[in-house]
Amino acid sequence: MTVKKHILRAPTTDRYPLNVPVDSAGLNRQVVAMYSTNAGAAIANATDVRVDFLNKVRDSHNAVAVGASWGFTAPVAGVYLVASRVTFDNFGAAPGAAFLKYLRVFKNAVLYKPLSVDRKTMFGIEGSEGTCLVTMNVGDVLHLECRQESGGPVVLLATDANNFVDIVLVAP
């Protein structure tokens, strides 16, 4: 397969072109995995929890295994853009208490980058979100973990729109 590169430009700007690999027939062979969760998973205080984004929105290469060992396995070597958000709800501690929250990316079970580390005062729903680039070889596995330290248990908000991960190959 011959790979050509075409430059796509966002409708509002031409400052940030995105190279999208296409084969000789002009078909997009892009790796895209988009998952979310509305399960309202429980997150115990001061505990690292692998996020199970169990609802498939799109997975071009069936690269994700859902469940307690949720993971994205790179089908193509390259640089992947990872964008994610988790949203905490039902705080176990009193309003106004200190609240520390994390969202981190792991590659091959080793911390790769924190997407979000934030200390706040709790007053309801709190999100952790971020993006990063991850260099992956074929077979590398990526997963996300969240953690909260509020003094009590917390659940993730039970809506897909507030708990998601998008993974896109941006440079083969």
Encode pLDDT of 110-133 as tens digits: 999 999 998 877 667 888 999 999
d(CA 20, CA 25): 14
Amino acid (1-letter code) at residue 110: V
pTM for the model stands at 0.81
Average per-residue pLDDT for the chain:
84
**Can you tell me whether residue 130 is helix, strand or coil?**
strand
Q: Is the pLDDT of residue 25 over 50?
A: no
Pick the CATH number of 31-171 from 3.40.50.920, 3.80.10.10, 2.60.120.40, 3.30.70.20: 2.60.120.40
pLDDT band at residue 3 using 50, 70 and 90 as cut-offs = very low
Span 3-27, mean pLDDT?
47
pLDDT at 151: 82
CA distances from 90 to 42, 155, 162 (A): 10, 6, 14
pLDDT at 95: 65
Q: Is the pLDDT of residue 148 over 70?
A: yes
Using one digit for the tens of pLDDT, what is the confidence trace for 51-60? 999 999 999 9
Amino acid (1-letter code) at residue 94: A
d(CA 105, CA 152): 24
pLDDT band at residue 13 using 50, 70 and 90 as cut-offs = very low
Domain chopping of the chain, boundaries: 1-29, 31-171
